[in-house]
Amino acid sequence: MTRRRKTRRDFLASSAALAASAALMPRPAIAQAEPHVVVVGGGFAGASVARALKQLDPRLPVTLVEANRAFTACPFSNGVIAGLRDLSAQQFSYEKVVADGIVLAPGTANLVDTQARTLIVGDGVRLRYDRLVLAPGIDIRWDALPGYDLPAAERMPHAWKAGEQTLLLRRQLEAMEDGGLVVISAPANPFRCPPGPYERASLIAHYLKTKKPRSKLIILDAKDAFSKQRLFQNAWKELYPGLLEWVSLSMGGKVTAVEPATNTLVTDFGRHDAKVANVIPPQKAGRIAELAGVADRTGWCPIDPVTFESKLVPNIHVIGDATIAGGMPKSAFTANAQAKVCAAAVAKLLKGETPPEPKLINTCYSLVAPDYGIHVAGVYRPVNGVLTEIEGSGGVSKADAPRDVRAMEATFADSWFKTITSEVFG
Ligand SMILES: Cc1cc2nc3c(=O)[nH]c(=O)nc-3n(C[C@H](O)[C@H](O)[C@H](O)COP(=O)(O)OP(=O)(O)OC[C@H]3O[C@@H](n4cnc5c(N)ncnc54)[C@H](O)[C@@H]3O)c2cc1C
């Protein structure tokens, strides 16, 4: 009999089989060695914290609960929308995470019994924890924008969680005739990836300029200011004059309702009938945060900035986009940095030791065109219980940098994506 090497498909199939058998398991809690750390969410924050914990203490049992069989990354997904790369370049398996000795529990975490320190996965598998780390990313606030519900998102995609929505928006742009109007609506703060809507607008503008030059793009914004604003706006003047228009909050940019039947975005000042409408709606922490009681009335999760332990429920830590992290923006870089700090703190707390005060870095690149990159960076530390940017620690790309520097920053962006995804999933 010949033996075949295991392929990615085999791995995913065995994860599915595991999920199916888990669903058939009797309901009592799975027997676990103590202490045990359970992580919910295998994205930039969750996969990073699980792997960092294993690196710090290879004997510590760590279970990672993840709803999807493979991870689809948002960074660089704007390139997929603009036809510059395939969605497969965004997808990563959990093979290497499992190879580290982390137990992958496929399924959706539905409930947390904080008294019994037990997490319920799927239709009843129970996982006991000593420390629970929640890294569920974001959910859409489906009740925040009149007219925008799940069926509306099939007509007016948000594409703010990468995957099918990303492809839907790309297909709509490809199907649009030259001369069409594309409208992006950008939400008020806070939301996932503050520069993301403007990078998306830039790359869609690049697509229109090269493929459908009679078309127009409008950004309707619920804000008067945005990340890397001067750099974006200077680049738009240079690269996309007459093609891309930004309408700020005070100029009537806030979208107050949508009408999916006609692809219409409504503001207090008028109506915009789009050929392609990309609605980036208001957001909140992933639903499990609310179910666990760690989200406050804002929908996000207050945390201790030294340990990332919830300020509302003991023994539960929250990292990544779901947190209220003071000045730190919601980015994959931030999620990875928070994961490392949280892992070090959890390892110390399990030994009864006091975690030291951390410093965390964020750097965020954006592409304004395939060969035109810009960045923002900052270093943060806890000040009076809030993660605060250290004065003078960061900044943005130089406003008057020549084009070869912009081109170099575009290659840095590409290297950053390769480095972080290979650190987290490779
Ligand atoms: C268009 C776009 C471009 C971006 N570009 C950049 C960029 O260039 N640089 C950058 O640093 N950041 C970028 N970001 C932001 C980045 O994607 C997020 O900040 C990052 O993904 C946050 O990581 P996270 O782990 O908190 O959430 P995620 O990466 O979303 O991971 C959450 C995971 O939790 C799982 N999950 C959720 N709930 C449950 C549950 N109940 N049970 C089981 N599993 C669950 C999900 O399936 C998912 O795998 C971009 C975002 C967008 C939308």
CATH number assigned to the domain comprising residue 57: 3.50.50.60
> What does the pLDDT read at residue 224?
98
Can you spell out the DSSP letters for 232-249? HHHHHHHH-TTTEEEE-G
Residue 19 placed within a domain: no
Residue 156 placed within a domain: yes
Of the candidates 281, 310, 342, which is a domain's last residue?
281
Same domain, 296 and 349: yes
Q: 3-class secondary structure for 351-391? A: CCCCCCCCCEEEEEEEEEECCEEEEEEEEEEEECCEEEECC
**pLDDT tens by residue, the chain, 426 residues:** 333 333 333 333 333 333 333 333 333 344 444 799 999 999 999 999 999 999 999 999 999 999 999 999 999 999 999 999 999 999 999 999 999 999 999 999 999 999 999 999 998 999 999 999 999 999 999 999 999 999 999 999 999 999 999 999 999 999 999 999 999 999 999 999 999 999 999 999 999 999 999 999 999 999 999 999 999 999 999 999 999 999 999 999 999 999 999 999 999 999 999 999 999 999 999 999 999 999 999 999 999 999 999 999 999 999 999 999 999 999 999 999 999 999 999 999 999 999 999 999 999 999 999 999 999 999 999 999 999 999 999 999 999 999 999 999 999 999 999 999 999 999
List the domain range (segments joined by +) for residue 115: 26-67+107-141+282-355
Q: Which two tokens stand for residue 209?
A: 């300029």
> What does the pLDDT read at residue 125?
95
Determine the atom of ligand 1 nearest the C-alpha atom of 335.
23
The DSSP H or E segment spanning 66 is strand 62-66
Please tell me the residue having the least CA distance from ligand 1 atom 17. Answer: 74
> What does the pLDDT read at residue 22?
36
Same domain, 148 and 111: no
91 C-alpha to ligand 1 centroid (Å): 12
Please tell me the residue having the least CA distance from ligand 1 atom 31. Answer: 43
168 C-alpha to ligand 1 centroid (Å): 19
> What does the pLDDT read at residue 2?
34
Cβ–Cβ under 8 Å, residues 130 and 343: no
- The identity of residue 34, as a single letter, is E
Same domain, 171 and 272: yes
Same domain, 63 and 162: no
SS3 call for 301: strand
Q: Which two tokens stand for residue 348?
A: 């110390």
CA proximity to 279, closest of 338, 208, 221: 221
Determine the atom of ligand 1 nearest the C-alpha atom of 413.
8
Same domain, 267 and 158: yes
Please tell me the residue having the least CA distance from ligand 1 atom 7. Answer: 75
* Alpha carbon 198 to its chain's center: 16
Same domain, 292 and 181: no
SS3 call for 91: strand
- What is the rounded distance in angstroms from the CA atom of residue 67 to the CA atom of residue 236? 39
Count of domains in the chain?
2
- What is the rounded distance in angstroms from the CA atom of residue 84 to the CA atom of residue 74? 14
Please tell me the residue having the least CA distance from ligand 1 atom 37. Answer: 136
> What does the pLDDT read at residue 123?
86
Count of C-beta atoms within a 10 Å radius of residue 333: 20
Please tell me the residue having the least CA distance from ligand 1 atom 4. Answer: 75
121 C-alpha to ligand 1 centroid (Å): 20
Same domain, 210 and 238: yes
The helix, strand and coil proportions of the chain, stated in percent and rounded to the nearest 5, come to 35, 25, 40
Of the candidates 281, 297, 324, which is a domain's last residue?
281
| Residue ranges around ligand 1 (CB below 6 Å) | 40-46, 65-68, 71, 74-75, 77-78, 108-109, 135-137, 160, 192-193, 196, 200, 286, 288, 320-321, 330-333, 335, 364-365
